[in-house]
Structure formats: structure tokens, C-alpha cells
Amino acid sequence: MAKRKRRSQQIFSISFLDCICCGFGGVLLLFVLVAGKQRNAQEQQLAEIREVVGQYEFDVKSQEDRIERITLEAQADEGESEQTESRNTITEEEVTELEQVLAKLLQSESKMQKEMEELLAEKEELATAEVPDPVPIPNVKRRQYLTGFQMEGEHILFLVRASGSMVGNTIEEAVAMQSKTDDEKRASTKWVRVVDSIRWMISSLPADSSFQVLMFAEETEPLIDTHSVDWIHREDGEMIQEVLDSLAKIVPQGGANMERAFSVLRGLSTVPDAVVMLTDGLPTQSDTYPSGDFVSEQDRVRYFNAAVRVAASDIPINTILYPLEGDPASPFLFWQLADRTEGALVSPAPSWPDIR
């Protein structure tokens, strides 16, 4: 039997080649993975760069828009400046014309002033020949005026309170005066002031107006019975003197029923254009509420409100309020009455009216 030939040993077998191939494949795969990661990192960096570039482009565009807006505003300001210069030129021409007109007006004023002085001088010369004022005011040049107090219209009605409180500045003083004689009551400082006030207001009436005087205390009656309906003309000196003489005979006494006085006003055949009420405080009697021996401040407020409900709201009521200590609510309530009727409230200084 022939001997088998020994096979020759191969150093590079199939198994070794497989190992070599696997190793090479692993290296290749590692290279592919590393290259992919580098590409992703590059793409991310590129995106960030694009974002920064986009922000820069936006900022540049914003700055360009701002520059354009500033340029337009500058052009507009320049246009307004040119218009302002043009207006200033026109204004200077107008000022020159106005100065010329003003100079002419000053000349005219000087001429008119001179003519006025001549007319006033002629008026003073004619004063001695004119008919004297029908209202006998002792000192005409010392007439005073009440601020915010106007007597306008054809028919003015004076509503004068003639109760016992009108002879004293305090309730205690008024009560003490009730034991005095009628002449002493008429001569009281407060009542003399009321009489002077009526004289002053009659003298201040418009020349074409008429008036009536009503006295109110417990009752409301005309000062002159014969003129309970007729109105007295401002230029009727004889009748005015009769009014003043009758007023000098009045003796203030008793209580004051303002509600009844306002009822009489509503019943007048001729509606007055304005009412001037001379009083010193709230009423002490009422037709709506019963009056007792003692009247409290709350009672007097109720009496006043009852009187206001009777008053006609379309007739202005102007109140001259004289002082009376112990009646703190009266100024506010009479102010409300003036506001409600579109009248006025005046509390004059102690020196008013200074006509003596």
C-alpha cells in the first residue's frame, strides 16, 4: 500500500482571512460612524451661524428703517420750519398793521375822553336845574352796592319782616326790647338799619320799574292799604314819601309766619319779577304746624321748609339776612332757597347802608 502524501501546512488559512476581513469591516464601520457625527456637528454649527447671520440682518434692517424714519422726520421738520418762518413774516406784517390801528384807537380814545369830560361838566352844571330824586337819600354820594345782588324787572316786591326779633341782634336782646315803648323799638339800631336798607333799595331801582312793600309778622299786609293792588312807580316821589312815612310808623312785634307771607305772594294779581326779602332768621310760626309757647330750632326749620313748599319756584327770591345770634341754621337754609329760586343771599356788613 502506498503511503499517503502529507499535506503541506498553510500559514494563511480561511479562518485567518475571516478575522482580517472582520477587523477591516469594524474599522470601516467606525470610520463611517465618526464621519456621520462630524457631519451632524457641522450642520448644527452651520444652523447656528445662519441664525446669528439672520439676527444681524434683522438688526441691520431695523437700523436702516430707523435711519429712513429719522430722515423723513428731519425733512418734515425742515418743511415746518420753512412754514413757520413764512408765518412769522406774515405775523410781523400784521403786527405792524395792528400797531397802526392801535395808535388810531388811542387817538380816538383820547378825543372821546375829552368829550366825556366836557359832557360830565355840562351834566354837573345842569344838575341844579334837574328834578330832584324822588327818593330822599341824605347823602347820595355814599350809596353802596351789594355784590352779586341785582334788582331787575318791571315789578319788584319788598317783603319786610316786622316781627319782634327785628329789634335785637340776639334773641335775648329782642326779648328784652319787647318791654320797651313803641318809640324805643322803632329807634333800635337794627330796625333803623332795616328802614335805611329799604330806602336805599328803592333809590337803586331802575327808573322805569314799579315796586310794592309787604310787611310780614304773624300776618302779611301791604305797607299802604290803598296800594294793596296797585304798584308804585319809581318816579312817583309823592307815593315814595308816603311809603317812607308809613315805614317809620311800623312797630316790630310778635312772631313771623313766612309760610303765610309766601301764600300771599302766590295770590298777587301781578306776578313780581323779583322778590327782595329782608329778614333776620327762620320763621317762628306756621300754618301747617301748630305753634306752642316754646319754639325750638327744629320747629323753626320745619316752619321754614313748610314755607319753601308754598313759595313759587319761578319767582327769584333775594334775601338780605340781618344778624341774629342763636339761629345757626338760617344762613344755609336761606342759601338753599336762593339756589332753588335762582335768587341771591346777602348778609351785608354792619356798616351797610351808610346813607346818613
**CATH at residue 292:** 3.40.50.410
Q: Domain end: 109, 130, 151, which one?
A: 130
If asked whether residues 303 and 182 sit together in one domain, one would say yes
Predicted confidence at residue 1, as pLDDT, reads 47
pLDDT, average across residues 231-252:
91
The CB density around residue 275, as the number of other CB atoms within 10 Å, is 24
User: Does residue 161 sit within a domain?
Assistant: yes
149 and 124 belong to one structural domain: no
6 in any annotated domain: no
Confidence band, pLDDT 50/70/90 cuts, at residue 14: low
Task: Specify the residue for cell string 316786591.
Answer: 157
Would you say 322 and 166 are in contact if contact means Cβ atoms under 8 Å apart?
Answer: yes
15 occurs within a structural domain: no
Beta bridge partners of 158: 213, 276
What's residue 16's pLDDT? 66
Strands 232-233 and 210-216: antiparallel
Looking at the structure, tell me whether residues 159 and 180 fall in a common domain. Answer: yes
CB 236 within 8 A of CB 205: no
Q: Whole-number mean pLDDT of the chain?
A: 81
- What pLDDT, on a 0 to 100 scale, did the predictor assign at position 243? 92
Q: Are residues 290 and 271 in the same domain?
A: yes
If asked whether residues 151 and 111 sit together in one domain, one would say: no
Q: Are 343 and 318 in contact (CB under 8 A)?
A: yes
Could you tell me if 123 and 214 lie in one domain? no
What whole-number distance in Å separates Cα of residue 191 and Cα of residue 163? 10
Residue at a domain's end among 77, 98, 130:
130
Bond before 353 cis per omega within 30 degrees: yes
- Residues 56, 162 share a domain: no
Per mean pLDDT, which range of 43-57, 115-129, 181-195, 280-294 is the poorest?
Answer: 115-129
Domain assignment of residue 60, yes or no: yes
Cell representation of residue 206: 331802575
The count of other CB atoms within 10 Å of the CB of residue 342 is 13
Enter the pTM of the model.
0.62
For residue 129, pLDDT over 50 is answered with no
Residues 223 and 118 in one domain: no
Of residues 141 and 65, the one with the higher pLDDT is: 65
Q: What is the mean pLDDT of residues 244-250?
A: 93
Contact 150, 346 (CB under 8 A): no
Structural domain containing residue 86: 20-130
Q: What is the pLDDT of residue 228?
A: 59
Tell me, yes or no, whether 11 lies in a domain: no
120 and 223 share one domain: no
112 and 48 in a common domain:
yes
**Assigned domain for 256 exists:** yes
Residue 157, phi then psi, degrees to nearest 5: -110, 130
Residues 38, 41, 45: CA angle, nearest 5 degrees = 135
β partners of residue 215? 160, 221
Q: What is the mean pLDDT of residues 266-283?
A: 92
Instruction: Give the phi and the psi of residue 288 in degrees, each rounded to 5.
Output: -80, -40
Q: What is the pLDDT of residues 205-229, one digit of tens each?
A: 888 999 999 999 999 999 987 655 6
Asked whether residue 35 falls in the same domain as residue 145, the answer is no
Look at the chain and report how many structural domains it folds into: 2
**Residues 320, 144: contact at Cβ < 8 Å?**
no
Helix, strand, or coil here: 17? Answer: helix
| Domain endpoint, select from 130, 164, 194 | 130
| Structural domain includes residue 351 | no
What whole-number distance in Å separates Cα of residue 249 and Cα of residue 22? 148
| Residue 13 confidence (pLDDT) above 50 | yes
Question: How confident is the model over 48-76, as pLDDT tens digits?
Answer: 777 777 777 787 788 888 888 888 887 77
Q: Which residues contact 220 (CB under 8 A, 6 or more apart)?
A: 214, 257, 260, 261, 263, 264
Residue 123 belongs to some domain of the structure: yes
Note the pLDDT of residue 145.
Answer: 58
Strand partners, 161: 216
Same domain, 53 and 173: no
Per the document, the length of the chain is: 356
